[in-house]
Amino acid sequence: MHILVTGGAGYIGSHTSVVLLEAGHEVIIVDNLSNSKIETIDRIKQITKKELIFYQEDVTDEAAVDAIFSNHSFDGVIHFAGFKAVGESVEFPLKYYYNNTVSTMVLAKYCLKYGVKQFVFSSSATVYGENDVPFVETMELLPTTNPYGETKVISERILTDVAKANRDFAVSLLRYFNPVGAHESGLIGEDPRGIPNNLMPYITKVAKGKLEKLRIFGNDYPTPDGTGVRDYIHVMDLAEGHVAALEKLTPGVHVYNLGTGRGISVLELVKTFEEVNGVKVPYEIVGRRPGDIAESYADVSKAKAELGWTAKRGIREMCRDAWRYECGV
């Protein structure tokens, strides 16, 4: 298939492009490089020894998107492009609502114009809000605590309505849990600008001595050791989940959790990282981070039953590969 990958120079998009190319698909990436580097495109080619087409364009720019669609005959679109920093979304809500929802609408519009019928969207477990764990796809979505989360809920609704109005349009809404780790080559991975917000990139920077110590946000949650519990998923498993979703896509809207189904606490992750990599991660316990929930993990039975996909890599591989990438950067 010919697949348009928006945000393909980014963290999850680059790993998914590798898996797509290795599965024999043609990949066309569009990315404005607002949160990624051009080198990543070369690294995808280096890993796969395959060619791909790259456009440095903004997917909210209708003329640019129109031109890309008119140059190719796509079988499907995987839409990763978007902003993802929760704190920044609180500070600059319009920047987030605009980029994340307009990009979705523009892409859906040109899919309809050019008869592209398959659309895979990067959603997030954040749409479950404070539902009880494990999160199941059939749950009612609860308000999220920030504009970023709302952009995911709104984009899901937009795509659902487009599919209702266009009966041959096929949409897969993939709700990611907590992607971590890197390609095992260490050539691509997560390289956030500035001080990381998310746990794993913070841990790798502390282990490397680039940051002094990890601050653990709260040890008084109702969890086994009091620290927050999340469903960390290796980014290569997540990437494989996209290819499975794309290859099984049929008209209508399909929602899948992409996680491992297993909750890991902050302390468990820190200890495993230290043990696997033989490094120290100094930490202190501080107060809870506003907007955090105690526990988040997936019910993964639907993806297994319908896509034949399950996450294969464990927490040790996630820690090993995240560290390997940090050491190579």
The site for ligand UD1 (CB under 6 A) is made up of 84, 86, 124, 126, 148-149, 178, 197-199, 202, 214-217, 228, 230, 266, 289, 291-292, 296
CB of 184 to ligand UD1, least distance (A): 21
| Those residues with Cβ within 8 angstroms of residue 94's Cβ, 6 or more apart along the chain or in another chain | none
Binding of ligand NAD by 232 (CB under 6 A): no
Toward ligand NAD, which CB reaches closer, 12 or 116?
Answer: 12
Q: Output the six-digit token pair for 26.
A: 């043609």
Distance CA 137, CA 125 (A): 10
- Judged by CB under 6 A, the number of residues near ligand NAD is 28
Toward ligand NAD, which CB reaches closer, 22 or 61?
Answer: 61
Single-letter residue type at 56: Q
CB of 62 to ligand UD1, least distance (A): 28
CB of 190 to ligand NAD, least distance (A): 7
Q: Could you say which of ligand NAD, ligand UD1, none residue 202 binds, taking C-beta under 5 to 8 angstroms by partner kind? A: ligand UD1
CB of 57 to ligand NAD, least distance (A): 7
Residue 148 catalytic? yes
Distance CA 208, CA 186 (A): 15
Q: Could you say which of ligand NAD, ligand UD1, none residue 215 binds, taking C-beta under 5 to 8 angstroms by partner kind? A: ligand UD1
Binding of ligand NAD by 58 (CB under 6 A): yes
Which residue number places its CB atom closest to ligand NAD?
10
Binding of ligand NAD by 313 (CB under 6 A): no
Mask of contacts with ligand NAD, 99-138, x by CB under 6 A? x---x------------------x-x--------------
Binding of ligand NAD by 77 (CB under 6 A): no
Computed from CA positions of residues 99, 111, 178, 323, in that sequence, does the dihedral angle turn out positive or negative? negative
Considering only the stretches 25-33, 107-115, 244-252, 268-276, report the one whose residues sit in contact with ligand NAD under the rule CB under 6 A.
25-33
Considering only the stretches 52-60, 202-210, 222-230, 292-300, report the one whose residues sit in contact with ligand NAD under the rule CB under 6 A.
52-60
Computed from CA positions of residues 233, 238, 241, 245, in that sequence, does the dihedral angle turn out positive or negative? positive
User: According to CB under 6 A, which one of 3, 4, 5, 13 is a site residue for ligand NAD?
Assistant: 13
Q: What residues are paired with 217 via a beta bridge?
A: 286
Catalytic residue, from 55, 110, 128, 148: name it: 148
| Those residues with Cβ within 8 angstroms of residue 268's Cβ, 6 or more apart along the chain or in another chain | 225, 315
Toward ligand NAD, which CB reaches closer, 190 or 323?
Answer: 190
CB of 261 to ligand NAD, least distance (A): 17
Active site residues: 148
